[in-house]
Amino acid sequence: MINDIIMLLPNEANTYYIKQILQQQNINIPVYESFGEEAVAFAGQQIKQGAKVIISRGSTAHLLQEIFTIPIVEIRYTFYEFSVAMKKAVKISRRIGLVGYNAAFDQPELSSFFRLEQMEVRIIKDPIQTKQVLTELKNMGIELIISGQKIGRIAKSIGLESVTIRVNTKNVLDALQDAQYLRNLETEKQKQFESISALLDSTQEGILSIDKQGMILSSNRISQEIMGVRIPHASVYDYFPRSLIKQILSGMPLYNEVVSLNRENVLFSGIATLLDDVVTGAVLTFQPASDIRRKEYELQKKARAKGHIAKNTFNHIIGKSPALMEAKAQALLFAVTESSVLIYGPTGTGKELFAQGIHNASPRKHKPFVAINCAALPESVLESELFGYVKGAFTGARPEGKIGIFEQAHTGTIFLDEISEISPAVQARLLRVIQEREITRIGDDKIIPVDVRIIASTNRNLLDEIENKSFREDLYYRLSVLNLNIPPLNSRKEDIPLLVEYFLSYFSQNSDRPQPVLAPDALLPLQNFTWPGNIRQLRNIVECAVALCQHGEITRQLMETVLKISGQMMTKSRSAPAVPSCSGTAGSFVSSAEAEFPASSSAYFSSRSSTPPTFYQSMAEAEREKTFSVLAACKGNKTMAAKELGIGYTTLWRRLKKYGMQS
């Protein structure tokens, strides 16, 4: 028996008649007889047992519609049933009353029929006190009532004639068809609701919906766990700041606001819900900050486990000088091949940037890019990082073993930075990997094939290292199939303005402050400077200038101060052997410190034998020189000089007193 659709009819005659119709049509639907408050109680029981749609008639249908939220389908009369009843009625009287709950009373055909038959008709819809209404109709001269069976019985009890409207098969089948459609619609809505509910419960964010008064209408599982209580029908103002909720309900979205909930910080967002452009409530989401940090850690951990990514392309290499453009063009040609590349260049020229550019322009661009600095690790650690090891390979090894970077870079590119620093023993193992394209983990005898492209870099002349017996000649020729020379900054000074502009924008954005303006002559000191640290040193100098800039403009004096500090630090560190610069072809190096510090740079370097001043001494000296030069340019006018320096008159007076120029 189909229990999700039932029929609940108000009288015995309707029940008997409709059961016969269903039996003739071979339709198996439960049919019950009940009326008024009794019908309401019975319908409530059936709904609890799974009824999704109720089919009923007349006043019972109207009563159920007012109380229950499930679909209530009414078996309606049509004009045909009225016309049959009318033909019977006019044989008895033409003073007729139509009494009942049926919307069919409004059919325009009835009015035409009444006029045609010259009938006096009173229509009473939705009678509340049926007996009282019928008595009033009788007093008005009505002699006959057309209605349903129950109203007809009451009419006869007060002396009125009655004709009952009979329901035909089509009315019943139409109601049943409507009920089946609504049942299917409700079933589909329930499936969608359960699907959405499961989806919301599976998220790691708390989600609430609220009405315009701030009452919580619904919530997902995680929101109840975070808030610590079952929260539907509670007030959201008990949990979140009133000002933020009011902002959201005003129509202004809120994103990622940090608020405190149960003594824990959560990231809180919300957006208003609209109906015809009118705010009806809001949807709120929140997530503990601790969960976000944990997820960030897990993402980083998984990213490392899957291998590294080359973030930069040739478009990230800034500059338009002939030397740089030639290097980029050559690197682009190398990229499309599968051969090993050896990159030469002084420290700070961007060798890894070129390596990433080559990878991203190669057929392997969607594969891993794994980089390792060979100079940063001792021999034993470097070997385990390169080739990996198995469980128990040595004391201190991970219990589960470790995958080496050659395996991590499989199908992609491996970048061996500072290749000249690896020991002869590791060089021998590396040579075999390049020759055989296979590795063996430390402590294992299993051979693992690997498919990697090798890019190596160095700031030394490897031919000199071969001559000194510190680098294997056979490894050199395996690595140097394609040689790429990165020009030092000294040979591409025309790129300095572009680089400075890029670094200014970068550091200003990172420090969340307006980008400083460069004074017209601010770059002159940079053009005259020799760059032992190359692009890296220029980057540091611009970062320092941005940090020290106080009035939104980087002046020549400020740049000279920063350069002086940088030069003194570099001079102090030059007591160690100089790193040779790379110029022209591989093997053509300038190896002396004097080549990197020509006479033209003496304006920005103190004598190597002198003790460099502290940072604060340098800044004080720069302030003093600038103050005096501006005062001289203003011909001693202190008011004008203070305005030019961007300081108050009193501040200028104190400076001059400090420097012994004010009595």
Answer for the pair 341, 484: CB distance below 8 angstroms, yes or no.
yes
Class of the domain covering 489-610: mainly alpha
> Three-state SS for 663?
coil
116 exposed, middle or buried (CB, 10 Å; 0-12, 13-18, 19+)? exposed
Arithmetic mean of pLDDT, 188-210:
79
Q: Where does the pLDDT of residue 35 fall: very low under 50, low under 70, confident under 90, or very high at 90 and above?
A: confident
How close are the terminal C-alpha atoms of the chain, in Å? 111
C-alpha distance from residue 37 to each of 6, 44, 61, 74, 351 (Å): 18, 11, 12, 17, 88
For position 203, what pLDDT does the model report?
77
Answer for the pair 346, 580: CB distance below 8 angstroms, yes or no.
yes
Domain 613-663 coded CATH 3.40.50.300: no
Q: Higher-confidence residue: 36 or 609?
A: 36
Give just the sign of the alpha carbon dihedral 8, 9, 11, 16. negative
What's the helix, strand, coil split of the chain in %, to 5? 50, 20, 35
Q: Where does the pLDDT of residue 538 fall: very low under 50, low under 70, confident under 90, or very high at 90 and above?
A: very high
Percent of the chain predicted with pLDDT > 70: 82
Nearest CA among 189, 273, 274, 206 for reference residue 240: 206
For position 166, what pLDDT does the model report?
76
Q: What are 316-357's pLDDT values in tens digits?
A: 999 999 999 999 999 999 999 999 999 999 989 999 999 999
- Consecutive H or E run containing 139: helix 130-139
Residue 599 has pLDDT above 50, yes or no: no
Q: Where does the pLDDT of residue 577 fall: very low under 50, low under 70, confident under 90, or very high at 90 and above?
A: very low
- Side-chain-facing half-sphere of 288: CA atoms under 13 Å: 14
pTM (2 decimals)? 0.45
Q: What are 217-268's pLDDT values in tens digits?
A: 888 888 888 887 666 668 889 889 999 999 999 999 988 888 888 778 888 9
Q: What are 37-84's pLDDT values in tens digits?
A: 888 899 888 888 888 899 988 778 888 888 898 899 988 777 777 778
Torsion region of 307: left, alpha or beta (phi above 0 gives left; psi -120 to 50 gives alpha): left
For position 183, what pLDDT does the model report?
87
Q: What are 311-320's pLDDT values in tens digits?
A: 889 999 999 9
Class of the domain covering 80-165: alpha beta
Strands 278-288, 206-211: parallel, antiparallel or unpaired by DSSP?
A: antiparallel
For domain 5-75+171-183, give the fold.
Rossmann fold (3.40.50)
Distance CA 224, CA 237 (A): 15
Nearest CA among 467, 372, 462, 471 for reference residue 413: 372
Superfamily of 203-292 according to CATH: PAS domain (3.30.450.20)
Q: CB count, 10 Å around CB of 257? A: 15
Residues 6+ apart with CB under 8 A from 113: 82, 83, 86, 119
Residue 596 has pLDDT above 50, yes or no: no
Domain boundaries, the chain: 5-75+171-183, 80-165, 203-292, 307-483, 489-610, 613-663
Domains 5-75+171-183 and 489-610 share a fold: no
Q: Higher-confidence residue: 297 or 184?
A: 184
For position 61, what pLDDT does the model report?
83
For domain 307-483, give the fold.
Rossmann fold (3.40.50)
Q: Which two tokens stand for residue 326?
A: 């030639």
Give just the sign of the alpha carbon dihedral 238, 244, 246, 250. negative
Answer for the pair 132, 179: CB distance below 8 angstroms, yes or no.
no
Q: CB count, 10 Å around CB of 526? A: 23
